[in-house]
């Protein structure tokens, strides 16, 4: 089957704004995204990480580097501060090469972030 570029979305709510909490949660999110979509770090093209304004302890991309995304372009940004939005959330948009069709991609929402996209959360 021919590989195509696919986007995988993910989000996780972090228990607190600490380096350990943000990095552990981001690693778990990425590992789940890769596993459920049957892709390896080598299949990754690039990733954008965003955090809500209340997460400032570290860059979530550090977690990706620790998982082997060493040659993958990564960038971090801050989500817009919408009143009433879910706090302490790391979001990821990961572009990968995959043999799966768009409808077969599994988007991952964990630890309370499922409320962000009930329509596609795994």
Of 6, 58, 88, 91, the active-site residue reads 91
Give yes or no: 56 in active site.
Answer: no
Catalytic residue among 6, 9, 58, 88: 9
For 82-94, b/e burial (b = at least 16 CB within 10 A) is eeeeeebbbbbeb
Which tokens in the block code for residue 22? 């943000």
Q: Is 9 an active-site residue? A: yes
Options 28, 76, 97, 114, the catalytic residue: 76
Q: Is-catalytic flag, 6? A: no
Whether residue 65 lies in the annotated active site:
yes
Query: What DSSP line would sit under 41-106, residue for residue?
Result: GGGEEEEEEEE-TT--SS-THHHHHHTT-TTS-EEEEE----TTPPSSEEEEEEEEEESS-GGG--
Is 97 known to be catalytic? Answer: no
Q: Given the residues 6, 58, 88, 109, select the one marked as catalytic.
A: 109
Indicate if 91 belongs to the active site.
yes
79, 88, 97, 114: which one is catalytic? Answer: 79
- Catalytically annotated residue among 28, 97, 114, 117: 117
Catalytic center residues: 9, 65, 76, 79, 91, 109, 117
């Amino acid at each position: 089957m021919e590989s195509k570029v696919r986007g995988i979305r993910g989000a996780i709510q972090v228990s607190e704004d600490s380096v350990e909490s943000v990095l552990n949660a981001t690693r778990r999110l990425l590992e789940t995204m890769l596993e459920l979509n049957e892709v390896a770090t080598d299949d990754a093209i690039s990733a954008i990480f965003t955090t809500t304004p209340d997460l400032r302890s570290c860059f979530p991309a550090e977690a990706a580097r620790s998982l082997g995304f060493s040659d993958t372009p990564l960038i971090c940004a801050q989500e817009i501060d919408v009143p009433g939005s879910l706090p302490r959330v790391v979001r990821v948009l990961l572009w990968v090469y995959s043999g799966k069709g768009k409808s077969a991609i599994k988007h991952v929402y964990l630890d309370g972030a499922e409320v962000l996209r009930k329509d596609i959360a795994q």
